[in-house]
Structure 1
Amino acid sequence: MVMDASVNPFTKGLDKNTANYAPLSPLSFLARAADVFPDTIAIVHGRQRTDYRTFYRRARQLGSALTRLGIGKNDTVSVMLSNVPPMLEAHYGVPMAGAVLHSMNTRLDAAIIAFQLDHADCKVLITDREYAPVVKEALSMAAVTPIVIDFSDTQFPQDGERLGSLDYEAFLQSGDPEFAWSLPDDEWDAIALNYTSGTTGNPKGVVYHHRGAYLLAQANVITASMAKHPVYLWTLPMFHCNGWCFPWSLSLVAGTHVCLRWVRPQTMWELIAEEGVTHLCGAPIIMSTLLNAAPEHKRDLDREVEFFTAAAPPPESVLAAMKTAGFNVTHLYGLTEVYGPAVVNDWKLEWNDLPLDEQAQKKARQGVRYVALEGLTVLDPETLEPVPADGETLGEVMFRGNVVMKGYLKNPEATEKAFKGGWFHSGDLGVLHPDGYVQLKDRSKDIIISGGENISSIEVEEVLYKHADVQAAAVVAKPDEKWGETPCAFVELKEGSTVSEADLIAFCRQHLAGFKAPKTLVFCELPKTSTGKIQKFALREQAKAL
């Protein structure tokens, strides 16, 4: 029997009001940290120290200054910044103005940057002078004409050209430090826009909402077992899924952000030791960089540092070396569409008693859902029926819950396809083990993950096909000890061609971001099916043997 709402005692007269309801938003975390811990150091950048009182004031100034420019709800503010304080300020100040933060990958080429600026309908661009050459080229290609604000880093000065008429620091100081920002009207409002590489066509714009950012930020703290006042080293790019939401997580526990403009082994070891770093995140390349540092640059640590990594699980030898160096490594898994990490290889204490080879098998698995994720499973991608939890039957890894994106910006067809059947389809193939842990086995979209960055094999192939001497091309992932994977190109040349491997790689570098260009190139006749389809599985096996 359904009770009439008009007489239901649990609804009648019990409405939402300002006393009992507020939209969920991570903006509230910084306001609380500034209220409770105003003198705690929030940001370290070179010799610069910023406490929470000042961090909050500067974020409000940014929000105010943007508002005075006419920026408001659903306007896009793009940033081309490394891991520097303005990037942290943007994570709060931009949404304080009601706008949407669009963080761009600093390694992208001008054409992709221009596409993103246009697709996002960028109104304001905050850009570091280090990236002036590529940003200038992108602006010349873009249809939009955003207001450009240049950031000049006083701690690590850059001599790049000024592209706009406004300087970041002067612009920020024009804002009101007491700016009366408000929470979003609806926690479903957009807070951030991130672009993910697709296998065909242009990248897709992934839209995050305030509610998801709030919940994932809290889940990070729980997953990372962060006590109050942790010290977090920014080895993970903040442009990547909004730094996996850690720019918001740290305010929850009044932690310290230790900025890192460039990933350099000596600098990392110095900061870890001297700033008392307790946590850091990154792709396997960060582990390699730390472990392969010159002996004189390494430091003996007086505590165990928590290291969270994604992409391919590191080899047992690397895990052992990290432990010896003072790091406890935890494996995470996620995608841009789920705010970064949403799966964790939660380690069970009883597994410590297993033989090392069995421990390695456990560590190779991606794991179980974050506390903020309602559903994680492996389903048949066509029928959406669960695969047997036998650790062998392949299916597609799927997600559902509050930390799944709103959808793809201006792309209803792709959004509908991604959410078919009430699940987010990851495109990753995996198995489900009897204990409920998920393990990836292949990537159905042929995405290559190199140093934590996604590279579309088809994007690289399209560039190769533009070369006059290329008859056919296929690009696959080649295992790499340093980067995890690198692009490996197999190329059939046209008859009579004398182009060299170096020539083709250089050609790719002219048309792609450097990290996307093939590191290995093989001239051969491509294996094909009877219908002419290139057999990439055979090429992957060849790449492994190279």
Structure 2
Amino acid sequence: MPLMIGDFLERAAFVFGEREAIVDEPDVSGSLGRITYAQLHRRAKGMAVALERMGVAPGERVAIVSPNSGRFLVSFFGVSGWGRILVPINYRLNIDEVRYIIEHSGATVLLVDPDQNAALRDIDVKIRIVLDGEEDAELFAETDEEPTPWAGDEDATASINYTSGTTARPKGVQLTHRNCWLNAVALGWHAGVGDRDVYLHTLPMFHANGWGMPYAVTAMGGRHVVQRKVDGEEILRRIEREKVTLLCGAPAVVARILDAAAKRRERGEEVPGRDRVRMIVAGAPPPSRTIERVETELGWEFIQIYGLTETSPLLTMNRAPKEWDGKSAADKSHLLSRAGVPVLGVRIRVDEEGELLARSNHVFEGYWHQPEETAKAIKDGWFHTGDGGYMDGPYAVITDRKKDVIITGGENVSSIEVEDVLYQHPAVAEAAVIGVPDEKWGEAVKALVVLKAGATATEQELIDFCRANMAHFKCPKSVEFRDSLERTATGKLQKFKLREPYWAGHERRVH
């Protein structure tokens, strides 16, 4: 049988139909409240039927711009489950960035959260639906009507996930049904996802389809608790109230949780989840001290994974094996700071230039309408991650980033894209954007700028200029003015030299 996205929800509805499936964000427009797996399945079918009535054929792209929501979760199955292609878009992007993705993907439908609707109103798209519980009522209505069967196969594209790379424009990563299916199964197996799990969606659903957790948790009949915005204390409240056992996030999310937990202890309040919660972390390697605090101060199990959108995303996992039992918290945390061992179905090696290469069942099909970029990324069957590192026995260790992508708070930022905006400022002659260590965000975006002769500009002026022209999370947190920037004889920026002073004393060149 082909490996299809619809398998996960179909099984859950059949086996756990009356079990609570989703606890949606309360008190927001379009909230689904609490619904069962049978209701979730009927809503997904209703979505497929509604799209069919709108004339949206299998293979057409349906874009969604939204924070985490029950409706987003339904869309994973209601769109891809019957052959249409989901295009999840980072809701923090500005209108020009979203417009580019809509146009490049050829999306004919745009589903947009009410909070993003006004900012994106001028985007031209054939069908536009606001996810407010009213305008989208038909789209998410429950039905027992069966959508027209789709005769696709597992190599068909399930979603196109746009990611920042080393080019100024994001690339559309084509993930097939087979990619998503095997990624979810591998992640679920290695993380021990079971029917007793309660999963808290702090990780953005647009990030590589929530790393596959919407599929893995659904397949096993776990309960989805949806959190719209990351807030440390609110995360702890929901863990306490809903008896959460599992969550995922970037190191920046871990930092907020630790801060909130410290404030609870100061107030004499209990920190929930001890000996119950496991947290999966990726986006950038967190410091070993942070890992130690998760396991000692919170009493949660820390699991690290490594991967990219292009790999669906799972490549490696670092979860403490029994051989580490009895080790001190500090020693164990140091071992957990490595990227991890290859998961089932993945092969990892390091080439002669120190770049990590991967082969797996869930390496992507290719970049949407960019065959040249695909050929650069996949050579002789091996995907080139762009990350530098080495193998410590079976463990992959990330030491540097060959691509000039900055990961801040779990978000990918293309340095070239930020530089392009800076060059539009009339006072800027040269600009280089790099990632520097940051305790809160992992890496912070820093701009090194050479001004034109006779021109003047302040640090805040350039930051404000960037904020007016691109998503705020991409903008520099600081600007340093230079007389010149190091370049090669052919004029290329030597970013490794520019980064070096800021990373001095750090074992790894990613934070």
TM-score (norm 2): 0.92
Q: Does 1:232 find its partner at 2:199? A: yes
Q: Is the 8 A contact 2:6 2:82 kept in 1?
A: no
The Cα of 1:146 is off from its aligned counterpart by 2.4
- Look up the match of 1:366: 339
Q: Distance in 2 between matches of 1:53 and 1:357?
A: 46
In the aligned structure 2, how far is the partner of 1:398 from the partner of 1:42?
A: 38
Name 2:29's counterpart in structure 1: none
- Alignment partner, residue 404 of structure 2: 446
**Gaps (5+ residues) in structure 1?**
1-21, 154-165, 381-393
- State whether residues 45 and 259 of structure 1, in contact with CA within 8 Å, keep that contact through their aligned partners in structure 2: yes
Equivalent residue number for residue 148 of structure 1:
128
Aligned residues of 2:388 and 2:401 also touching (Cα < 8 A): yes
CA displacement at 1:353 relative to structure 2: 4.4
| Residue 155 (structure 2) pairs with residue 188 (structure 1) | yes
In the other structure, the counterpart of 2:276 is 304
SS of structure 1 residue aligned to 2:79: helix
Q: Who is 1:286 aligned against?
A: 253
Contact 1:488–1:543, Cα closer than 8 Å, also in 2: no
1:99-498 correspondence runs (5 A): 99-137=84-122, 139=123, 142=124, 145-152=125-132, 167-173=135-141, 176-180=143-147, 182=149, 184-293=151-260, 294-295=263-264, 296=267, 299-301=271-273, 303-323=275-295, 324-354=297-327, 358-371=331-344, 373-380=345-352, 395-433=354-392, 435-498=393-456
Moved more, 525-534 or 79-88: 525-534
1:244-277 CA distance string (max 9 Å, x none): 1111111211011100111122221111011010
Displacement after TM superposition at 1:126 (Å): 0.9
Aligned to 1:33: 12
Q: Which amino acid counterpart does residue 115 of structure 2 have in structure 1? A: E
Map Cα deviations across residues 418-449 of structure 1 (whole Å, 9 max, x no partner): 1111111111111122x221111111111100
The residue number in structure 1 matching 2:22 is 43
Give the SS at the match of 1:479.
strand
Cα distance, 1:356 vs. partner?
5.7
* Cα offset, 1:529, TM superposition: 4.3
Match of residue 159 from structure 1:
none
What is the distance in 2 between the residues matched to 1:184 and 1:284? 41
Deviation digits for residues 398-426 of structure 1 (CA, Å, limit 9, x no counterpart): 11122011111111111122111111111
Work out whether residues 216 and 339 of structure 1, in 8 Å CA contact, stay in contact via their aligned partners in 2.
Answer: yes
Task: Find out whether 1:84 has 2:84 as its counterpart.
Answer: no
Distance change in 2, residues 1:355/1:130 (3 Å):
same
Partner secondary structure for residue 511 of structure 1: coil
Structure 1 counterpart SS, 2:283: coil
For residue 330 of structure 1, give the secondary structure of its aligned residue in structure 2: strand
Aligned match of 1:520: 478
Match of 1:75 in 2: 60
- 2:23 alignment partner AA: V
Opposite residue 263 of structure 1, the aligned amino acid is: V
Structure having greater relative contact order (Cα 8 Å, sep ≥ 6): 2
Shift in Å at residue 334 of structure 1? Answer: 0.4
- On the 8 A contact 1:74/1:100 being kept in 2, the answer is yes
Pick which of 231-240 and 78-87 moved more: 78-87
State the shift of 1:308 in Å. 0.3
User: Which residue of the partner structure matches residue 8 of structure 1?
Assistant: none
The code of the aligned residue for 2:300 comes to F
Q: Is the 8 A contact 1:313 1:363 kept in 2?
A: no
Report the residue type matching 2:59 in the other structure.
Answer: N
Alignment counterpart, residue 537 of structure 1, candidates 496, 499, 509: 496
Could you tell me how far apart the structure 2 residues matched to 1:206 and 1:117 are?
14
**Deviation by residue 1:206-254 (Cα, 9 ceiling, x = unmatched):** 1111111111111121111122231000000000000011111112110
d(CA) in 2 for partners of 1:238 and 1:46?
A: 14
CA, structure 1 residues 537+95, in 2 after alignment: closer, same or farther (shift >3 Å)? Answer: closer
The whole-number CA distance in structure 2 between the counterparts of 1:298 and 1:456 is 41
SS class of match (1:211): helix
* Residue 95 (1) aligns with residue 68 (2): no
Amino acid in structure 2 at the alignment position of 1:59: A
CA separation in 2, counterparts of 1:404 and 1:282?
22
For residues 379 and 29 of structure 1, what CA distance do their matches in structure 2 show? Answer: 37
Question: CA, structure 1 residues 262+530, in 2 after alignment: closer, same or farther (shift >3 Å)?
Answer: closer
- Structure 1 residues 202 and 219 mapped into 2: Cα distance closer, same or farther (>3 Å)? same
What CA distance in whole angstroms lies between the structure 2 residues aligned with 1:544 and 1:339?
Answer: 30
For 1:513, give the aligned amino acid: A
| Mapped contact 2:244–2:273 kept (Cα < 8 A) | no
Number of residues paired by the alignment? 492
Structure 1 residues 187 and 473, CA gap change in structure 2 (3 angstroms):
same
CA contact (8 A) 2:68 2:205 kept: yes
Paired with 1:328 and 1:471, the residues of 2 have a C-alpha distance of 49
CA contact 1:102–1:194 (8 Å) conserved in 2: yes
Letter in 1 for 2:445: P
| Structure 1 residues 298 and 127: CA distance shift in structure 2, 3 A | farther
Change (3 A) 1:329 1:471: same
CA contact (8 A) 2:82 2:150 kept: no
With over 3 angstroms needed to count, the CA separation of the structure-2 counterparts of 1:251 and 1:410, relative to structure 1, is same
Deviation at 1:355, TM superposition (A): 5.7
Structure 1 residues 526, 357: closer, same or farther in 2, change over 3 A? farther
Q: Is the 8 A contact 1:427 1:443 kept in 2?
A: yes
What is the TM-score when the length of structure 1 is the normalising length?
0.86
Q: Which has the larger radius of gyration?
A: 1
1:169 counterpart SS class: coil
Gaps (5+ residues) in structure 2? 27-32, 506-511
Identify the residue that residue 384 of structure 1 maps to in structure 2: none
Task: Give the C-alpha shift of residue 184 in structure 1.
Answer: 4.5
Shift of 1:312: 2.4
